[in-house]
Structure 1
Amino acid sequence: MDQPGSPQEPQHAHGHDGLPGCYRHPDRPTGVRCTRCDRPICPECMVSASVGFQCPDCVRTGGGSGPAPRASAPRTIAGGTLTADPRLVTKILLGLNVAVFVAVLLNEQLSGGWLVERLDMIGLALDPSRYQLVGVAHGEWYRLLTAVFLHQQFAHIGFNMLSLWWLGPQLEAALGRTRYLAVYLLAGLGGSALSYLLTAQNQPSLGASGAIFGLLGATAVLMRRLRYDMRPVLILLGINLAFTFLWPNIAWQAHVGGLVVGAVVTFGMVHAPRDRRKPVQVGTCAVMLLALVAVVWVRTLQLVG
């Protein structure tokens, strides 16, 4: 007697075309077989796997040898895991930006606004309250990241958070949470690094605009990869770049730095070969991070060397 899960087929399972019938629906002839147990499966029972298709039983049990392999789990275009809430990281980032903004407002009302001066991106300056040099060149590298979450004006944080809420969820769903967060943080650091390199040493800058432009660049790369109509995102990008260079008191260096880094990192993520996806993606992020460190190191040597 055949055992359950055996590749042997019952005699009545053959259809009128000479093809075997699906092991779950014997009246449906099919030429497709499970790549694990070799049983015939109809379109309703096919589960896409890394190679070919598997039957529901093998997906559930891993072919009778324990839990189903991770390869059978649905993945995003960049290899991320599909999640029930594709907005979770976006919500956390938005909440963090708003929380820092509220802290800045309270600090300005109660303590004179020293918090901004401790967290903004500045190359090198003299802090009169402490009579000592402060800034990235003085060893305060954390400012490259804290400035990304720092805002002082309602209009500034309002525009950035609306853009984050509009662009973020789609990217988070397409890339997966970890990859999406990597794009956001590296783009923010890219904006800070280019500002540090090209602006005056005592010129402070702040805000998530570099990270937001990184998401904009990531969206363009993703739409290109999916072969979607590029016109909407290109028009939006053009409008934002026009404001960047025509509106006064905007740190264009942060916008351009974030845009370039976000686009490059996303390109590495969505174009990585499937069989070498993780090494290529990790390598792309590592190379970009090293490049940003090199930029900061060169500028620091210029200021203090």
Structure 2
Amino acid sequence: MRQQRATAPRTKSAFLTRFTGPRQPTVTYVIIGICILVFIAQWVTGLGNGPVTSSLWYAGIYGYPNGAVVQTSQGAVLASFEPWRMITTAFVHANILHIALNMYTLWIFGIVLEPMLGRVRYGVLFVLSAIAGSVGVYLLDSPVQPVVGASGAIFGMMAALLIIQRHLGGPITQLLVLVGINLVISFLPGFSIAWQAHVGGLVGGALVGLIYTQTRARSRRALQVVLLIVLAVLLVLVGSWHVFAGA
């Protein structure tokens, strides 16, 4: 196989090897493992408002400084500034069906994306998509509505794969349909789905995918790192806007 790949004609599909990393999706398995361990801890300590769940979930009020009293439709809320929740919320799930669906979808996209991008770039994509999902919640949802789940990060993975496939000239119709169906489902009433996280994850993942496709050459690797850092900083700044606005 190695000889065939080395002597194959240089086509758009062969160009994909410039993204190729280790075949084993180790990071995907690690993320799934962490989510399962966290869910077991949630189950033992009580789902819903249990101590594990409530210490890791995310809501807009966590963008405010310590001690700030936020006036909401639910009344005055004592808020805190805990930006790490923008990531930890991706490892928390509401019930067994929620984690099962998310982990299956994560595995489906992980086994494609991780070997394509490599472990580090794939891990960065997951983290930045998770943060972007939280930013979507911060900007579009109630400041006292907690949100949990990895679906924001998963939507980011979908968007990144779509951008990469489009850039490489690969088929995107089925992926577009899949993203569209999942996005429509996000807005259906009665399912308590955080569409805000899905929209935020889509935008964040698309930006990461765009950065990857535009900085594929080795000579542009330093620019890739700089752009990813800038994106991460911007996401955290937006997600913490009220801190800097003096709310």
Q: TM-score, normalised by structure 2?
A: 0.82
Residue 147 of structure 1 corresponds to 89
Q: CA deviation at 1:275?
A: 4.3
Residue 52 of structure 2 corresponds to 115
Deviations 1:19-49 (A, max 9, x none): xxxxxxxxxxxxxxxxxxxxxxxxx7x968x
Residue 77 of structure 1 corresponds to 18
Higher RCO (Cα < 8 Å, 6 or more apart): 2
Structure 2: unaligned runs, 5 residues or longer? 8-15, 71-76
Match of 1:163 among 105, 129, 142: 105
Which aligned segments of 4 or more residues in structure 1 are displaced greater than 4 angstroms? 131-137
Kept after mapping to 1: 8 A contact 2:131/2:236: no
Residue 232 of structure 1 corresponds to 174
Kept after mapping to 2: 8 A contact 1:123/1:136: no
Identity within the alignment, %: 35
Residue 186 of structure 1 corresponds to 128
Using the alignment, how far apart are the partners of 1:273 and 1:93 within structure 2? 25
2:115 paired with 1:173 = yes
Deviations 1:79-135 (A, max 9, x none): x6x32x4311111111111111111001118xx71221111102338xxxxx99799
Kept after mapping to 2: 8 A contact 1:90/1:165: yes
Q: TM-score, normalised by structure 1?
A: 0.67
Match of 1:124 among 50, 58, 61: 61
Kept after mapping to 2: 8 A contact 1:245/1:252: yes
* Aligned residue pairs, count: 225
Supply the AA of the counterpart residue of 1:124: I
Q: CA deviation at 1:273?
A: 5.0
Kept after mapping to 1: 8 A contact 2:56/2:89: yes
Supply the AA of the counterpart residue of 2:143: Q
Residue 31 of structure 2 corresponds to 93
More helix by share: 2
Kept after mapping to 1: 8 A contact 2:28/2:110: yes
Q: CA deviation at 1:173?
A: 0.7
Residue 288 of structure 1 corresponds to 231
- Structure 2 counterpart SS, 1:124: helix
Residue 277 of structure 1 corresponds to 220
Q: CA deviation at 1:136?
A: 11
Structure number with greater Rg is 1
- Structure 1 counterpart SS, 2:24: coil
